[in-house]
Amino acid sequence: MSRSSSLITRLAGAAAGVVLAAAGVLVAALPAQAASLTQVTGFGSNPGNLTMYAYRPDGLPANAPAVVLLHGCAQNAATYFTNSGWQKYADQWKFALIVPQQPSSNNSTSCFNWFETGDTARGQGEALSIKQMVDHARTTYGTDASRVYVSGLSAGGAMSSVMLATYPDVFAAGSIIAGVPYRCATSTTSAYSCMNPGVDKTPAQWGDLVRNAYAGYSGRRPKVAVWHGTSDYTVNVVNATESRDQWTNVLGVSATPTSTSSLPGGTSLEVYGNDQVRLYRVAGMGHGTPVDPGSAADQCGTAGAYFLDTICSTYRDALFFGLGGGVAPSPTPTATATPRPTASPTPTASPTTAPVCVTASNYAHVAAGRAYQSGGYAYALGSGQRMGLYNTFYSTTLKQTAPNYWVVNC
């Protein structure tokens, strides 16, 4: 299989140099008798050539849950384990952590190869290696096969999408942090445009990519949380909306939120369906995992390169997964629910008035008041129909059917 060594200089982007030498010796520095992040060998055929690390807190009971953590580019397992805050809640709520590591021999910047088709298909490459780690934890540590979860940052977030799509029978839920939809890219070249400016597909098109990842599967699908900083210039924030579209379509729920909430750290939360999909937007945050150092119950992590001091995403994800004492609390709205505009019946223009049709870039439509933008997309004023990405490169024809009411196409 061809391994890319050039990509993701961009996804790694500013991540060059983030690997901490001290983190590499974390395991050796811990007492042998204490729970520690430990390398595991012989976990399977390992076709993706990944390295497995695992953390089993002291007193881990039988049938405990397990969470797979997928690091970002230029990071390693120890870095992500140490800074993300997951160890705190694994110790507190007694679940195992499985932490795959991408060697530089697979990818020069240690990115998971989320854009290589041979690594993102069920039963192949890196996706199968990660699944074999989960199987090993079940047979060796006695973890619960029905309570397996996955979370990752950037390339790891994209790989979380891969695992949720290819192994819906393995994962009960997942979290995609600064990632992209499944099969957004299928080559090194297409990965660039996927990350920035993003790829615009219909919800059904995104959903079909997931459904085709395990053709014929009709079982339960995992619930999904999506996290993204609104000032992420490495992986464009439009990917959050596209991921939302993908997973709401797969789970068969409306892409209009059932509730919205305001959370700490300038974070907004949109909930879809019966809490099956969550979308967290962190205002002003760049590219990284949201953390909030401190000792409070909802604080975690260590701030640093690509661990950004805003809100403890790990705490929110652990509760969403149902790991906090075995109870999965519902979010508590702190603001009135504000559903997104949806298309309503189109008013009919007066028979004596010819319709006004305008073709222009989405940027120009917004500037002229024929549309508005939200989350990186343009929407027709009045009808709320989505027009595509909000920029000067996407053009749309809008028809005015009533004062301040525009629809797509003429």
- Which residues are tagged catalytic? 154
Supply 127's token pair: 């996706």
Quote the CA–CA distance of 280 and 228 in Å, as a whole number. 6
Give the whole-angstrom CA distance, residue 207 versus residue 183. Answer: 10
SS3 state at 193 = helix
CA distance 277 to 245: 10
Measured in degrees and rounded to the nearest 5, phi and psi for residue 367 equal -60, -30
- Give the tokens for residue 101: 């590591």
- DSSP, collapsed to helix, strand or coil, labels residue 190 as helix
Helix axes 155-166, 238-251, angle to 10 degrees: 10
Angle at 216 (CA atoms; ends 215, 217), nearest 5 degrees: 95
Written as one string, the DSSP assignment of 335-348 is: S---PPP---PPPP
Rg (CA), the chain: 22
Distance CA 281, CA 278 (A): 10
**Hunting for tokens 């920029």 — which residue is that?**
391
Q: Whose structure tokens read 């559903």?
A: 339
